[in-house]
A and B are shown apart, each in its own frame.
Chain A
Amino acid sequence: MAVAAPAMHHKGPDRTAINRLGLWLFFFSESLIFALLLSSRFFLEGLNIPLKHGSDEQAVDQVLGLAITVILLLSSVTAFTGETAFEHGRKRLGHWMILATIVLGLIFAGGVAYEWKTAHFTRGEAFGTVFFTMTGVHASHVMSGVIMLGLVWVQALRGKYNEKNHWPVSGVVMYWHFVDVVWVFFYPALYLV
C-alpha cells in the first residue's frame, strides 16, 4: 500500500505529488469495490431491511449503528487534527491525535463485531449476505488503516516526521478519510433505507 513513499531520487517532479496522485488513483479503484457491493445490496434486497422475528422492529440495531457511525466520523476529525499538527510541527499533539484515531477505529471495529455477534439474521439469507459482506469488507479496511496508523505512530514517536517530511502521516490520514466516506454511503444503505 502507499504508506511508504519510495525514496527514489527522481529529478524534476515532486515525489509527494506523485505519491498523492497514486493514492487518489488507488481510492478511485477501490471505490468501485464498494460501489458494486452497494449495488448488489439493492439488486438483491431492494429497499428492504428484514424485521426481527415476531416483532415489527428492524433486525438491525439502530442505536449501535448510529453510535459506531458517530465514532467513525469523530475519528476523521482526530485524524485531520493529527495531520495538521504534524504540518505545523506540533508533534506532541500529533502523537496524541494519531493514538486517539487508532482507539476510535478499534472501538468502531469492536462495535461491528458486536453487531455481528448479536445479529438477528444469518449469513445464509440474502440480507445477511450483503450485510456481513459490506460491513466485513469495510471493517477490514478500517483494521488495515489501524495497522498503518500504528506503524506511522511508532515512527512518529521515534521522531521521524517534521514540518517538511510527513508524507506517510498524510497518506494514511487520506486513506482513513476515504474509508470514512465509504461508511457514509454504507450506513444509510444498511440501516436507514
Chain B
Amino acid sequence: MYAATTVLGGTGTGLMGFYLGLGFAMVMRKLFGYPDLWERDLCLSVGYVFGLVGWVLGIGLWGQWAREWFGMKTYANGAQGWQRYFTFCTDHKVIGIQYMVWFVVVFLAAGFMAMLMRVELAQSGMQFFNHDQYNAVMSLHGILMVAVAIAAVIGGFGNYAVPLMIGADDMAFPRLNALTFWLVPPVGIMLLATPFLGGLEAGWTAYPPLAVQTESAQTLFNLALMTFGLVSILGGLNFIVTVIYLRAEGMTWSRLPIFVWAMFLTAILALFYTQGIFVALFMVLLDRIGGMSFFNEANGGDPLLYQHVFWFYSHPAVYIMVLPGFGVALELLTHFSRKPLFAYRYAVGGLIGIVGLSGVVWAHHMFTSGMPNYLHPPFLVATELISIPTGLVFLAGLGTIWMGRVWLQTPMLFALAVLFNFACGGVTGIFLADVPTDIHLQDTYFVVAHFHYTIVGGEIFALFGGIYYWFPKMTGRMYNERLGKIHFWMMFIGFNVTFFIMHLPGIQGMNRRIADYPSEFDNINMVISIAAFFLGSSFLVFFYNIIWSWFRGPAAAANPWRARTLEWQTSSPPPHDNFESPPVIKGHPYDYGVPGSVHATFPMGAAHAPAGGGGGGGGGGGG
C-alpha cells in the first residue's frame, strides 16, 4: 500500500529525526560544559526541528526532490486514485483537496472546543472546567480557528481553483506545493497535543511576559506556529509566480477572475507580512530557551516590542483571511446573479487599496498598551481610511446583485450572507478603531463579537459557499441542495443571534478570555450559549450532506452552474492536466447576457464541455 508506506515512513523518519535532535542537543550541551544535559524546552525544540525535517524528507521530499541536489535520480510518485491524497503528490487539485479536508476537520474540532467554552460560560461560576483548562481550550480554539481562517480558503480553493481559472496545468512550483502542504499535519498534531503537554495560558496572541514565563506548552505552540508561517510564506510565493507566469494565452490582468485577483493580492500579504509573526514568535522562543532579554524589562527589554512586531503581521493577517473570502463571494455573486461583475476595475482597485493600507494600521490593537499617545491619531486615521477600499469591494457586490436574476442556490445564499455579516462587522469595527470608544471596549466581548462578525461572517461563510460551489467540480458529484439550504439557514440564524447578542454584555464591560463573570450576565449568556449550540449543530447537517454526497451523490455535470470561468469548461473532476487542449482567452469572464461574448475557446481540440451547458442544480436563472 503506497499510502500507508508513505505516511508511516514519514512518521518513522520524523521520530528518528526527533530523537536525533534530542541527542544532538544534549551532546552540544555537554560540549559547551553545561552541568545538566536535559533542559526540557531547549532539547524538545531541537528535537522538533530535526523531527520536522525528518518527516518531510520521509514523506517524499527526499525521494522526489532532494536526491536531485546530490546529483542522484529522483523517483516518480506511483500512487493512483485515493492513495494520492496520502502521498507527496504534486497535482494542485490533489493538494487543494488535501488542504480542504484537513482544515474542515480542524474547523470542526475547534468548533467543538467553542461548544465546550459555551457550556462553561452558560452560567457564572465554575462548573465544567477549571481556569487552566478553560485557558487551554480557549487558546487552542483561537489559534486553530486562526489557522483555518488563514489556510482553508487559500490552501483549499486557491490551490484547486487558481490554476484552473487561469488556464494553467499546475502551479509554478508543484514540488514546493506538495512540500508546503506536508508541513501542515505536524502543526495540527502539535497544537492538538498541547492540552496533554501542559496546556496553553497566553491565548492565541501569546503576549510576553506571560508567554516567556509560563511553564505550559508555549514552546511547542511557538514552534508549531512558526512552521505554519512557513506554510503561508511558501504558499504565497507559489501563487504569485503562478499568476504572473502561467496565465493562458489572452488571460490579461483585466480579464483575471476576481477570485484570482484576490488570491494574488493575498499571496503578496502572506509572503511579506508572515515573517512578522515568525520573528515575534522566534524572539519569544529565544527569551524562553536562549536566556535572552527581548521582553525582559529588568534587563533592558520591552514587552511592547512584541506587540508591535506581532500586530505588524496580525493585522494584515486579517486581510489574508478576508480577501480570499471577498474573492469567493464576488465570484459567486456574479455567477448567481447572471450579470457582469459590477465595477470590476473598482473592485480590483479596492482590493489593492486594502493591501496597500494593511501594513500601516497595526497599532490600533495597542491603544491601551501604554505606547506613546502621539501614535494614537495616525493609527486611528489610517484604520478608518481602510473603509474606503473596503467600501468599493462591498459596493461592487451590491451593484452586482442589483437588478440581477438572482438564482438562490446554496452557494449564493452564503455569498449574500457575507455581504450582510461583513457590513455588521464593519460598523462595529468603527468603535474599535476610534480611540475613546476602544479604550472602553478593549478586551470585552464586544471585541469577540466584532471579529467573529468579520472573520466568520466575512470569510467562513464564503468558505462554505465555496465548498458548495466547487463541490461538484472537486468530487464529480452533486451535494443535496435541500440539506445545503437547511445548513445555511441554521448557520445564518445561529451565527447572527449568538454574535449580535454578544455585543451587549461587551458594552457593559464583560471581559473576554475569562471563564467566570458577574452573575448579572447570567441570563444573556445562557441565551448566547443556546444560540451557539444551534449554530454548532448546523455543521452536523453540513458534515452529513458532504460525506453522503461524496460517496453516494448524483454525478455532477461539467458545468452545473452554467458559469463562464475556465474551471467549469472542463470535466468534473478535471483530467490530470486540467484541460484536454490549452484554452485561449477571448473575453471577460463575467459578461453574462452580453450578446456574442466568449470567455475562452479551445482551438486545438473540440472535446470540451460547452459553455452554458449542464444545469444539474435544476431550475432558475436565465442568461
Contact = CB atoms under 8 A, between A and B. Distances in A.
Nearest to B309: A36
A17 to B, nearest CB: 7
A43 B308 contact: yes
B237 A40 contact: no
Contact of A129 (B65, B272, B292): B292
Contacts of A127: 300
Contacts of A43: 302, 305, 308
B276 interface: yes
Interface string A37-67: 1001001110000000000000000000000
Interface stretch (A21-29, A79-87, A104-112, A183-191): A21-29
Contact of A18 (B172, B300, B301): B172
Interface residues of A, number: 40
A133 B292 contact: yes
Contacts of A29: 233, 236-237, 271-272, 274-275
B291 A22 contact: no
Q: Is the contact region of chain B dominated by helix, strand, or loop, or is it mixed?
A: helix
Nearest to B293: A129
Interface stretch (A6-14, A70-78, A89-97, A174-182): A6-14
A154 B69 CA distance: 10
Interface in B258-311: 271-276, 278-279, 283, 286, 290-294, 299-302, 305, 308-309
A126 interface: yes
B245 interface: yes
Contacts of B70: 151, 154
B246 A22 contact: no
Given A29-B237, A43-B305, A158-B71, A36 B245 contact: no
Nearest to B175: A6
Contacts of A133: 283, 286, 292, 294
B241 interface: yes
A88 interface: no
A123 B294 CA distance: 10
Contacts of B278: 33
A127 B301 CA distance: 9
A155 interface: yes
Nearest to B278: A33
A4 B279 CA distance: 27
Contacts of B294: 40, 44, 129, 133
A150 B20 CA distance: 24
B312 interface: yes
A32 interface: yes
A33 B279 contact: yes
B241 A32 contact: no
Most chain B beta-carbon contacts within 10 A, residue among A29, A43, A123:
A29
A163 B305 CA distance: 49
A25 B240 contact: yes
A135 to B, nearest CB: 13
A45 B300 contact: yes
B597 to A, nearest CB: 26
Interface string B393-437: 000000000000000000000000000000000000000000000
A100 B175 CA distance: 32
A43 B303 CA distance: 11
Nearest to A35: B275
Contacts of A21: 240-241, 244-245
B279 A132 contact: no
Interface of B: 65-66, 68-71, 169-170, 172-176, 233, 236-238, 240-241, 244-246, 271-276, 278-279, 283, 286, 290-294, 299-302, 305, 308-309, 312, 582
